[in-house]
Amino acid sequence: MPQMHRQLKITKLFRKGANTRQTEDYEELQQVQKLEEKLREKQNELFQIQRNNCRRKTAPPKPKSKDSEFVKPQKIILTTSVEILKKNVELMSMLTGVEVQSYVADDHCCVVFHMHHKSDTFVKHGLRIDMHSDGNEISKSTMPVGFNLIAVIGEFDKITRPRCLGAIRRALVAYYDRLHQYDALKDFLNVEANMFKKLDGSYIEISFSVQSRDEEDEQIQATLMLDYRVYDVRPKTFCFMENENLQDVMEILMQQCLAFKKKPLKKAFKEAFMDDIGQYRLVQHVGVRREEEQQRRPKRFRPNKNDYNNDDTFLPEDCSDQSDGQCSE
């Protein structure tokens, strides 16, 4: 029994010694790993320093400009804001058709109206408003002939108000719309049409001949008068010039002309007097078309320059024996 007890103590001592050795080895391994990590970090730092030094050596030095001045950010922001404001003003003038070209306090204000109707050239009109009279007096104007500017601005206290400028632009659009309708009707029908400008708008007279479908031999000469206001693109009123032949058929013709209240001149005239809807229709064009005049006009004989066989020379034997100085044909 004493021997067994002694063997157990020896075994325990061996086990304790082995465990102590394992613990010491593990701690040494951890220290080695920490040292290796620190070594890698130092190597990376050294590599970064060497790479930065190589970059500085290879990269060319930046030129130092002595003349360049530092621009404050406030100036950059201000310049950008001004450019954006200019673009917004151009966009508004394009959409509204109204542009304030120049303005000087207590002196003048110049306003330009841009027209966007169909035209071969770019059309615009301007006003110079005297600001000494509280902005209610026009010193210069480039409005079209016959445009009733006084009737438009008479409805407002000040010309410089946006509503007044918008009303002038709207009246100009209506003015050119009436001119376009008038030209389209005149080119389409080639009738006698006269436009007269009045203070309260435009006044159009159209002279043409009509004939009843029941009485083929009877032709009536009629003159249609259309009256417009400054903002109208359709006639406010229309009537026929007094004529003895029109007394009996005046009501019928007025009924046929109701289309002028709803449609442009060309379509309304075609529907009223050319589509055989009403009792009277257009039978005679007063005036001759330019194309027909050119066709009727005899063409002047011109020798062909490229025709080298053209025998168009003067020969004495082609003349007659008479002394009148004329050649025979």
The last residue of one of the domains, among 109, 143, 176, is: 176
Residue range of the domain that includes 217: 178-284
**Which has the closest alpha carbon to 111: 53, 80, 153?**
153
C-alpha distance from residue 104 to each of 47, 92, 109, 131, 135 (Å) = 68, 21, 6, 8, 12
Shared domain check, 96 and 139: yes
CB 185 within 8 A of CB 113: no
Q: Is pLDDT above 80 for 62?
A: no
Q: Is residue 151 part of a domain?
A: yes
Phi, psi dihedrals of residue 80, rounded to the nearest 5°: -65, -40
The last residue of one of the domains, among 147, 176, 205, is: 176
pTM of the predicted model, to two decimals? Answer: 0.58
Q: Tokens 């209610």 belong to which residue?
A: 136
Strand partners, 206: 193, 224
Q: How far apart are the first and last CA of the chain?
A: 172
CATH number of domain containing 118? 3.30.457.50
The last residue of one of the domains, among 130, 152, 176, is: 176
Q: Is pLDDT above 60 for 141?
A: yes
Q: Is residue 141 part of a domain?
A: yes
Shared domain check, 170 and 108: yes
Q: Between residues 123 and 327, which one has the greater pLDDT? A: 123
What is the pLDDT confidence band of residue 243, given thresholds at 50, 70 and 90? confident
Shared domain check, 172 and 78: yes
Shared domain check, 277 and 185: yes
Lowest mean pLDDT among 66-75, 186-195, 272-281: 66-75
Distance separating alpha carbons of residues 176 and 118, to the nearest angstrom:
9
Distance separating alpha carbons of residues 193 and 189, to the nearest angstrom:
10
Shared domain check, 80 and 136: yes
Amino acid at 63: P
pLDDT tens digits, one per residue of 153-162: 988 988 888 8
Shared domain check, 229 and 199: yes
Q: Is residue 98 part of a domain?
A: yes
pLDDT at 135: 65
pLDDT tens digits, one per residue of 206-241: 888 888 877 666 788 888 899 998 899 999 999 998
